[in-house]
Every structure is written in C-alpha cells, then in structure tokens.
Amino acid sequence: MAKYTIAWMPGDGVGNDVMEAAKIVLDRIALDAEYIPADIGWEFWCREGNPLPQRTLDVFKRTDCALFGAITSKGTDRADLELVPELRGKGYTYRSPIVGLRQLLDLYICLRPCKAYPGNPLNYRPGIDLVVFRENTEGMYIGVEFGRVPEEFYTVKAMEKVPRDAAISLRSITPGSSERIVRAAFDHASQHGRTKVTAVHKGNVLRQTDGVFMSVARKVAAEYPEIEFDDANVDAMGMWLLKNPLNYQVVVTTNLFGDVISDLCAQMVGGLGFGCSGNIGSHYAVFEPTHGSAPKYAGMYKVNPLATILAAKMMLDWLGETEMAAQLEGAVAQVIAEGKVRTYDMGGSHTTLEMAQAVAAEL
C-alpha cells in the first residue's frame, strides 16, 4: 500500500493541462502515493446538476489530501446559465464548487505564498517573499444574498434607510473563525522565522465585522510578543504593497479582502502562472493553483504549470515531506534562474509539459 492517498481533481479547462504537468514532477520525485481521480466542476454541473457530486465527497473521506487543477466558476448571473440549453429558464443557480468545498470541509486557512524567484522576468521587484493567510469559510462568502431585501428585514430599525429594491449580501465574521486564522498566521510566522504579521481590514467603515476581527487579532498578537504586529485598512494596504512590498512578511485577513490582496501579491511575483494556494483545515487540505480554468487555452498545453507545481510543493510540506518539498522548490527556482525554459507568460514559447520536464530534470 502506498504511504499516501491523494484525491486527484484536474477539474476542467487548463486544469487538465497543469495537473498532467504536476504528475510528471511528482512521479520524478517518487512520492509514495496513490492518486484517486475525483470529479469536480462545470461539466458535472451541466450533466448532473451538481459540480461536487457525492462520490467526490466520498473520495475526500478516504484520502489524505487533494490536488486540484482549475474549474470554471461562471458568474452569478443568469445569463451564463442560460447558455446551457438543458437548463435554460429553470432558474438553477451555480455556486462555485471550490467555495463550497472550502466550507464543507472546513478548510479555514487559505495560504498563499508569494515569492519572487530570482530570474523570473515577471517579478515586480526582487526580494518579495510574503505569505497571505486568507480566512476561507465566512465573511462575504457565506452565500447569504438577496436579489431584493426580504420584507421581514424591515422589522429591524437600521434597515429603514435601505431601499426596498436593493440587492443585499451579508458578511459574517465570528470571533472563533477570526481567532483560528490569526493564530495560524502567527504560528506560521514563528515556525518559519518571520518577524512580522500584518492584519488587513476595513475597520473604519465595517465597524462591527472588522471590529470583531481586529479585536481578536490584537488579543492573539499579544500572545506572540516576539513577533511584530501591525495592521492596515485594505485600500491603504493595496497602495503600501505596491510601494514597499518588502515591508511585508505575513498578511492575515478576512475572506474577500484576502481574495483581492492575494491576487495583487501574486501579480507582483509573476501573476497567474506563479500563484499557488493551499486550502487547509485541521484534518484535510486541498492544494491548487490560484488561477482559473482559462477555457480558451484548454488542451493547448500553453499555460505555465509552475503555480500547480508549487501547489504540489505546498502539499508535500503539509504531508510532512519537507525535504522533498525543499528539493522541488529548489528545482523550480533553478529552472527559473537559468531562464532557458519559459512559458508564454514569461515571454517564452515552451509548453506546459516542457516546463514540467525541465523541473523534473533538476530533481
């Protein structure tokens, strides 16, 4: 029996291309694992009305963790849904299965490292090396939205100023979820020799929800006196990150702000082709590139697989295979530094699989 069992979820679009690339590298490093394919994504929603079928949930129960490619998360709007003839007019609503999966499995940490590997022509500035801890289960992602304010809401006085034809989305921030994400950020900092944690919020406007988040953050920070703690409003943070990216080491924030800030940080170290991500809970984790499924490039083996390969590296770390993880990261760094193999986003013309083979050759 293999040491690990890993749920293998290519998803759709370029998800297949980049997972094939990841497999080349994992095979080369000889991770002792059995990979169990699992269905997720747009295709299954169209066919079965469910992008995350029960059989996939069953695979999670008998695997250690999952590696995931990409899926199409169509817009909120009906217009997208109307494109599927079988479903036209039926009013189905499609919710991103990756968001559902994070909540269902309580993968409360979204960890997004952003490192400027030397030699990457896409680096915004040399030396950037930070990690984003995004709360992954609540905030603006609870899915409680109304196209029109429900009548019974008007029994609450504060609602008087909200027009009757408003659409509303609720943001929920609990002390418990805030505490565990902030604690994860501080633990990571102390385990990885980081000396500073920055909490990001919009406390000057979202007084209640970010009031909870920040009061918990300050309380947790006090337990780690050796680590510097500061905070910033999310708008200012966008500015500061661009101005002084080297001032940041560990950034911790709520769900939607983390979504936005982590894209900004990924862009500073090469963009979509480099953004990797771990959705981590107490017992299970799903690793993925941050990018989407780019349907127009599906099957063309054009996109950069390094985001997925770096997600596989995060998976190795999480499994406790830290030596293998370090080797894999070293191989990625080496290929980037040499600059001989580059995918189109890096100004080159090598394919997805050629990039993976180049990384494998360094192992």
Residue 272 CB contacts under 8 Å (≥ 6 apart), including other chains: 266, 289, 290, 291, 303, 304, 307, 345
Is residue 259 close enough to count as binding ligand IPM by CB under 6 A?
yes
Could you tell me the smallest distance in angstroms from the CB atom of residue 307 to Mg ion?
Answer: 12
Is residue 253 close enough to count as binding ligand IPM by CB under 6 A?
no
State the number of CA atoms in the 13 A half-sphere of 304 facing the CB.
Answer: 27
Could you tell me the smallest distance in angstroms from the CB atom of residue 260 to Mg ion?
Answer: 8
Is residue 96 close enough to count as binding ligand IPM by CB under 6 A?
yes
Judge whether 128 and 269 are in contact, CB under 8 Å. yes
Looking at the Cβ atoms of 132 and 184, the one nearer to ligand IPM is 132
Could you tell me the smallest distance in angstroms from the CB atom of residue 95 to ligand IPM?
Answer: 9
- Cβ-based burial of 145 (10 A; exposed 0-12, middle 13-18, buried ≥19): exposed
Among residues 130, 153, 6, 156, the alpha carbon closest in space to that of 67 is found at 6
Distance CA 27, CA 332 (A): 15
Q: How many residues does this entry show for the chain?
A: 363
Distance CA 4, CA 6 (A): 6
Is residue 290 close enough to count as binding ligand IPM by CB under 6 A?
yes
- Residue 16 touches which member of ligand IPM, Mg ion, none, C-beta under 5-8 Å by kind: none
Q: Residue 283 carries which DSSP code?
A: S
Could you tell me the smallest distance in angstroms from the CB atom of residue 29 to ligand IPM?
Answer: 26
Residue of the chain from 259, 288, 317, 321 that contacts Mg ion (CB under 5 A): 259
Specify the stretch interacting with ligand IPM by CB under 6 A; choose among 94-102, 178-186, 236-244, 345-353: 94-102
Could you tell me the smallest distance in angstroms from the CB atom of residue 20 to ligand IPM?
Answer: 21
> Would strands 129-135 and 109-115 be described as parallel, antiparallel, or unpaired?
antiparallel
- Residue 137 touches which member of Mg ion, ligand IPM, none, C-beta under 5-8 Å by kind: none
Is residue 73 close enough to count as binding ligand IPM by CB under 6 A?
yes
Is residue 254 close enough to count as binding ligand IPM by CB under 6 A?
no
Distance CA 184, CA 182 (A): 5
Q: Residue 83 carries which DSSP code?
A: T
Is residue 272 close enough to count as binding ligand IPM by CB under 6 A?
no
Distance CA 29, CA 19 (A): 15
Looking at the Cβ atoms of 102 and 350, the one nearer to ligand IPM is 102
Binding site for ligand IPM (CB under 6 A): 73, 96, 98-99, 259, 290
Binding site for Mg ion (CB under 5 A): 259
